[in-house]
Amino acid sequence: MDIATILSAILTLTAGIGIFLIACQMMSTNLESASSNKLKRLFSNASKSKLLGVGIGALGTAAIQSSGATTVMAIGFVNAGIISLVQAATIIYGANIGTTITAQIVALGMFGANSALTTAIIFSSFAGIGAFIMLFAKKDLWKRIGGILTGFGMLFVGLDLMSQSMSDFAALESVKLFLAKISNPILLVLIGALLTAVIQSSSVMTSIALAMVVTKLINIDQGIFLTLGSNIGSCVVALIAGMTSGRNAKRTALIHLFFNISGVVIFLIIEGVIWLASGRSVTYGSIFTKMFPSAPQTQLAMFHTIFNCATVLLILPLTQQLVNFVCRLVPDDKNTLDPNAPHLYYLDDNMLSTPPMALQQTKKEIENMADLAIQNFNLSLDIICTLDFKDSEIFQVREEELNYLNQAIIDFVVKLSEKPQLSQEDHIYLSTTFRSVRDLERIGDYAENIVEYADSLRYLNHTFSDDAIAEIRQVQSRITDLYEKIMVAYANEDLNALNEANVIEDEIDDITKAMEDNHIKRLEKGICGADVGAQYLSLSSNAERVADHLINVGKSIKRIKN
């Protein structure tokens, strides 16, 4: 046995795996960034039907070349309560279909292996083309395109190194004899699962299996069982993400695991039946060899695709039963659930694996925070006008929620800002969120001030006059109108809605100024006392500042537009 040859082959394989992994990451990063807006629109439709969920999972994974990222994103969505477990399951099913694209691309790159100009060499040249584009491009989009091409080219550079190492191993008779002895399907599945769990990439494991089959280091049946194992090993990333999150995240991770295990078990049973019924002469390998003769790479790639598609068709009708099963395995703990505990409504750290989607959810979280803030502001005005404190507990729960969201959203945005997949426009938006969140938190503070004024009035056994209450209701109505216009402007980046909001804000300035003037007149006439007057003037000032903070949130879209 030539130790030097074995060591060289191992080092070459390690280099090939490293380059392949970096290439996958580079493609994923740049594809996510370049297609971020389309991804946002795509995943916003995930809840419409099971089949649509499968399609979205498949297209999303094909677009970003990472089933792990899609699965972890689904875990984040279900953990945040954005989608149901059933919807998350269908996205995961689709991700398994989408990941077969990589195997098909790799198989395509292995054609013409015996000629001077192979498809792998042609595709590898994209690495250089992409690098030149990245080096000289001025626009962010072209740099991303260059990154995609570079990653695509490097994919085949890594594949070539892996194939080279397999050829070196194939030249060693002792290695071939050793591998030939590993024919037990269960053992090969376990080896595939273990290696995939270590590498944390089913694409790499499938590509290694393809290279081993093409170099005749293993036969097609062994390659099929290794590929089946890689599907189970690919669940490791999702399990890690799920087990460190909430109950629904754990359930989603288990759905992924049981789905993949079920598919492997079903296919192993089917092959066992075929093998016995044919007198031990027909296997998956012999079937696909006849279907795609003289193309071992296509045989394995097509099995991978058909296996994943067939598993989805078999398990999809049983999705609800699968969800019920994992819910029994991970039941709700009624003793520890607190529905009033502050929490993020749309965000989860697992979403950081897909930054464009995390960005969309950040916007929804801020819109939700704005809704909580305006609800508390309106409730504070109701309390001071009626001196009815029956909803004060609801008010306090919301105030605690606003304080929590203020810090939690900022913490999330800081982590999201560090992700390279985001475009320049995305970074501009994130820079505006810090002030927007602070503005909304201040609205909550002013609402809290107004409730304190109401408490003072109650203590003094005073109330506002009917005229004063009418003025408060007038400004309340216009601030509600302002809020609605601002939310339209913020959600849709609508400058026309922002201009309309500015007109309303000017009216609110006039109303609050009139409130102060009118109240001073009432004080002079003795209609209101000094204590009541102080509270009223403070309320008027607070209302005007609430309008200012809402306008600040709306103005953030100008930075994005410019």
- pLDDT score, position 260: 93
| Helix orientation angle between 100-109 and 140-170, rounded to the nearest 10 degrees | 70
d(CA 487, CA 494): 10
Tell me the C-alpha distance between 205 and 221, whole Å. Answer: 15
The pair of three-digit structure tokens given for residue 121, joined into one six-digit string: 């060499």
Cα dihedral 190/196/200/204 (nearest 10): -170
Distance CA 343, CA 490 (A): 23
Ordered structural domains, the chain, with CATH: 3-329 (no CATH), 352-561 (1.20.58.220)
CA 216 – CA 194 distance, rounded (Å): 22
pLDDT at residue 337, as a whole number: 46
> What pLDDT, on the 0 to 100 scale, is given for residue 74?
79
Measured N-to-C along each axis, helices 392-417 and 424-460 cross at an angle, to the nearest 10 degrees, of: 160
The answer to whether 293 and 210 have CB atoms below 8 angstroms apart is no
What the block records as the tokens of 32 is 């996510």
Residues 284, 114 contacting (CB under 8 angstroms): no
CB 94 within 8 A of CB 59: yes
Alpha helices in 387-460 (DSSP H): 392-417, 424-460
Q: What is the pLDDT of residue 317?
A: 92
Residue 334: CB atoms within 10 Å: 6
3-state SS of 275-288? HHHCCCCCCHHHHH
Contacts 24+ apart (CB under 8 A), 58-63: 58/94, 58/95, 58/97, 58/98, 59/94, 59/98, 60/91, 60/94, 60/95, 60/98, 61/94, 61/95, 61/97, 61/98, 61/99, 61/101, 62/98, 62/101, 63/31, 63/32, 63/35, 63/38, 63/39
Instruction: Please state the pTM of the whole predicted model.
Output: 0.70
Which residue type occupies 486? I
Residue partners of 508: CB distance under 8 A and separation at least 6: 475, 478, 479, 482, 543, 544, 547
Going residue by residue through the chain, which has 562 residues, state the pLDDT in tens, using 9 for 90 and above.
467 777 888 888 889 888 888 887 787 777 766 665 565 556 656 556 778 888 888 887 876 667 777 787 777 777 766 778 888 899 899 989 988 888 888 887 766 555 555 677 788 898 999 999 988 888 877 888 898 889 888 888 887 888 788 877 777 777 777 877 888 999 999 999 998 888 877 888 888 888 889 888 899 999 999 999 999 998 887 787 777 667 888 888 899 999 999 999 999 999 999 999 988 889 999 999 999 988 888 999 999 999 999 999 999 999 999 999 999 988 876 554 455 678 888 888 878 877 877 888 899 999 999 999 999 999 999 999 999 999 999 999 999 999 999 999 999 999 999 887 787 888 889 999 999 999 999 999 999 999 999 998 888 888 888 888 999 999 999 999 999 999 999 998 899 999 999 999 999 999 999 998 887 887 777 666 656 778 888 999 999 999 999 999 999 987 766 5
**Residue 531: per-residue pLDDT:** 65
Residues 165 and 182: their CA atoms lie apart, in Å, by: 20
Q: Under a CB-based contact definition with an 8 Å cutoff, are residues 73 and 315 in contact?
A: no
DSSP letter for each residue of 484-548? HHHHHHHHHT-HHHHHHHHHHHHHHHHHHHHHHHHHHHHHHTTSS-HHHHHHHHHHHHHHHHHHH
Instruction: Say which residues have a Cβ less than 8 Å from residue 433's Cβ, sequence separation at least 6.
Output: 362, 366, 409, 410, 413, 556
CA–CA gap between residue 305 and residue 189 (Å, rounded): 17
Looking at residue 35, the DSSP 8-state letter turns out to be: T
Helix or strand run (H / E) with residue 291:
helix 284-291
d(CA 424, CA 522): 55
Angstrom distance (rounded) from CA 202 to CA 209: 10
